[in-house]
Amino acid sequence: MKRNRSVKILATLGPASSDEAMIQRLYEAGADVFRINMSHASHDLMRELVKRIRNVEAVVRRPIGILADLQGPKLRVGAFTNTKEDLVVGQTFTLDNNPEPGDNKRVYLPHPEILEAVQPGHRLLIDDGRLQLVAVEADGTCIVCKVVAGTRISDRKGVSLPDTMLATGALTEKDRRDLDAVLAENVDWVALSFIQRPEDLAEARKVARGRASLLSKIEKPQAVDRLDEIIELSDAIMVARGDLGVELPLETVPGIQKRITRAARKAGKPVVVATQMLESMISAPVPTRAEVSDVSTAVYEGADAVMLSAESAAGDYPVEAVATMNRIAEQVERDPLYASIISAQRSTPEATGADAVSLAARQMAETLSVAAIVTYTSTGTTGLRTARERPLLPIIALSPIVATARRLSLAWGLHCVVTDDATDLEGMVDQACRVAVEQGHARPGQRVIVTAGVPLGTPGATNMLRIAYVGSDGLSAV
């Protein structure tokens, strides 16, 4: 199924969208990649969802990406004698290592790593920032805080630490079990939550051993501070605006989104914009005008993908949410301003053969008004370098490896097709022309540009560019 847009749609599965028929409807409405949230999915449910997605993939005969989102460290306070307590701005309130139920003076904090790391002056945000505390004393066993905003706290509310670097890594014991489980099911992407530093990717990378690509969710100020290093070690990036908006001033999030999007594009790494994009469609069949503008902004910025969370997972209108996002993206990409904005944001290519060939392919394609760029890619690198150039015409990524095609379904502009590997140069060009016609991106008489590596089948050796005419039989013509 050909998409009439370059940006991809990532849809979260959940109670409203877990059966096979609904997954197919979401795909047909525009979803390109499906997200399984391991915060809520058991291993058995995850396995069943993977099976259903693969069944839909077989029906639609298109590679579909699967992203498993690990929960990450969930930091929460303990329980209270009365389940909740009212506080007063200006009072002191203590978080400590005493497991007894709390009151309006103190509460148990079952996270020694926080007790040891917080210093006087650090902020502690409870319940998504509804209660704001500032540490005035900390001795490694308790944190005495001053209440600066908010007046209520209740059982097991989450704790955010915008000023504190925790010594622990991003993977919890639950994450390690979940990671083993999702890798056994051959998911394509694994999202790592609450990344603070580039070293947080090391353990997951060691476990994955290339079996899945790693996506780092940027949702903490510490990660923003070391953004370039994290991008370098990641396969993709997500702008997780929900937690960013808790730990950083809300008014700074749009600027950070632009910074992350452009940095990832410069590095040639897919970037996903997520959280509350069509939030009102959880309970309404149409979005707000502000939400439409929000999705449009991400598309204008050249994000690789935009994501739906509760809208598709638990909302009343999951199919409508995907279809709405699809229509918004199509309309933005038809806007004459879109081409000029995308072109103005292009980065200087790196000094590699793949970058040089990808740049030349884009320039020649736009100069000659060809129908499509067809790129052969076994590892996915050439496909990503071509997408990095943001050519304003279709990119068909041909790969003999289904896992590569599935992973590339997250990347901007790539129409992925699983094909047999070509055995000679003429056969390769013929195959490129035939697939371009079959997939609806070219017609006889038009031209396509083909890029590949010679000798054929050599990973990472993109060094050839050829202009081919599509003959009346759908093959290349002299």
Which residues are catalytically annotated? Answer: 35, 76, 217, 275
Burial class (CB in 10 A: 0-12, 13-18, 19+), 418: middle
Which residue do the tokens 């690990």 mark?
70
Largest CA distance in the chain: 83
Give one DSSP letter per residue of 177-232, joined into a string.
HHHHHHHHTT-SEEEEPS--SGGGGHHHHHHHTTSSEEEEEE-SHHHHHTHHHHHH
- CB-based contact 433:475 (threshold 8 Å): yes
The span from the CA of 351 to the CA of 20, in Å, is 45
User: Which stretches within 80-211 are classed as H helix?
Assistant: 112-117, 173-184, 202-208
Rounded Cα–Cα distance for residues 20 and 18 (Å):
7
Number of C-beta neighbours around residue 279 at 10 A = 20
Peptide bond just before 444 cis, omega within 30 deg: no
Distance CA 165, CA 453 (A): 45
